[in-house]
Amino acid sequence: MTTALGAAPVPRTLDASVVHWLLSTLDVASPAGQSEIVSPFTGTPMGSLPQASAADVDDAVSALRAGQESWAQLPVAERARVLLRFHDLVLARRDEGLDIVQAEVGKSRRDAAEEMLDLLLVSRHYARDAQRLLRPRRHRGVLPLATGVVELHVPRGVVGVLSPWNYPLALVSGDVLPALVAGNAVLVKPDHRTTLTALWQVGLMHEAGVPRDVVRLVPGDGAVVGPLVVDRVDYVMFTGSTPVGRQVAARCGERLVGCSLELGGKNAMIVRADADVRKAAEIAVRGSFTNAGQLCISMERIYVHDAVYDTFVAALCDRVAALEFATGIGWGGTIGSLISPEQRARVQAHVDDAVAAGARVLAGGRSRPDLGPAFFEPTVLDGVTEEMSSCRNETFGPVVALYRVHSDEEAIRRANDTVYGLNASVVTRDLAAGQAVARRLRAGTVNVNEAYGAAWGSTRAPMGGMGDSGLGRRHGDEGLLKYTEAQTIATQRVLGLGTPPGLSDERWLGMLTMSLAAMKKLGLK
């Protein structure tokens, strides 16, 4: 069964004056070349992007080091107010931002708006929690009353944020804002395909009150400019593929600087025997095809209990057939373009390889050159086996494979049979049973009766991957504290730790030992 999706009539494109305005804000003194910014919707150039040279990166880092010290001296509450002003500016100019991100990524307006909502949510979260997380914390000293101990969280200095193209709103501001409110300066290196979206955000940060020498952007190809950034900053936040993440971690390791990495995934959904099939199909469509499947936490594998497999397949394919393509800027359509013809070719290769080896296409399966150079139909596969490239390798496109299972145990075992561990989903009517299954899945986030939004949107809770899906966490306390160094200041009052006059070392150490024993009896740590 295949589908022939239609397209919503959305002809609008990004005004050339907007592109010119954004590019004019770039600070590149000695560019090391130029590259075209291309519209995924049409394949036509939108502008020319200069590539920062090593000298440009050096200049940016020097300026940021000079500006960071005074920024860190501001009260946390004042830095938090800057984040709230940024929130308000984004909210007021959201349509402008949605136009830009649609033009650069080729996503539908609905998907762009979801990303915009995330940006607003995260900016409020870090503004609200910064004072709680960064306040000095008192601890019991080695000698209670005589030893005062305070834990501080001091900024790392200059943070490098290397952001990807697929979510250029959420994955620029979502990483820059916590680093800023923690007192760091930030150097942003966006993917060269989404530099306009990053420039828009950095410009609003400056307008909100972040000094220009506290957040800066360097443009260019990731393979060229990315290492220049990694080799010069004090901490790196990278989002991208697992192979590149290993390179970033190795470079950071050589310099003994920290890094946080959100990398690839081959995320699994489990549909239990008791699941509401229509609800499961709705979750699966959103979870697999949001942003045309170009989402690190999207579903690429669905394990469906045999008792509901056939009815689930029918419900899923009906929903896929009802989707419409969005072919330009504006509302209308639910699934956009892939980022480039190269990405479309990768997706097509995964589907063709699976079909050649015996898999069946239940829905989709085709490129759509009639709509644009990078459109691909949302695709459902059955019968994917180990020898197929799409079985274990991340497709990062609108392709999901269905697998029939006969028990929760089999579903858990097969879902966990991967080197990745980023996100997972369980669909069930029995919430207690769903939570029990979730606890056994090896993934940084697991959603019960949702694909990704419940865990991702709960910003007080950490988000990140296990295994080859990365290191560190976004959101939660760690999402901010990772941009700081813990510093302990211990003040000894009156009684010192050395042997007091008139006592032997043996007698003094015996007294200390007895004190520790007494503390244990009193339940003191």
Alpha helices in 213-268 (DSSP H): 222-230, 242-255
Catalytic residue among 114, 115, 262, 377: 262
The SS3 assignment for 90 reads helix
Gap between the Cα atoms of 284 and 450, Å rounded: 9
State how far the alpha carbon of 518 is from the alpha carbons of 144, 146, 513, 515, 524, in Å. 12, 16, 9, 5, 9
Catalytic residue among 252, 259, 296, 391: 296
Instruction: Tell me, rounded to whole angstroms, the distance of Cα 193 from its chain centroid.
Output: 17
- Is 296 among the residues known to form the active site? yes
Question: At how many degrees (to 10) do helices 195-208 and 76-92 cross?
Answer: 130
As given in the structure block, the two tokens for residue 156 are 């790392």
| Residue at 428: amino acid letter | T
Inter-residue long-range contacts of 112-119, CB under 8 Å, 24+ positions, other chains counted: 112/169, 114/290, 115/167, 115/169, 115/170, 116/90, 116/169, 118/169, 118/170, 118/174, 118/456, 118/457, 119/90, 119/169, 119/170, 119/173, 119/174, 119/201
**CB of 279 closer than 8 Å to CB of 313:** no
Gap between the Cα atoms of 102 and 355, Å rounded: 32
Which residue in 57, 35, 59 sits closest to 47, CA to CA?
35
- Is 377 among the residues known to form the active site? no
Catalytic residues: 262, 296
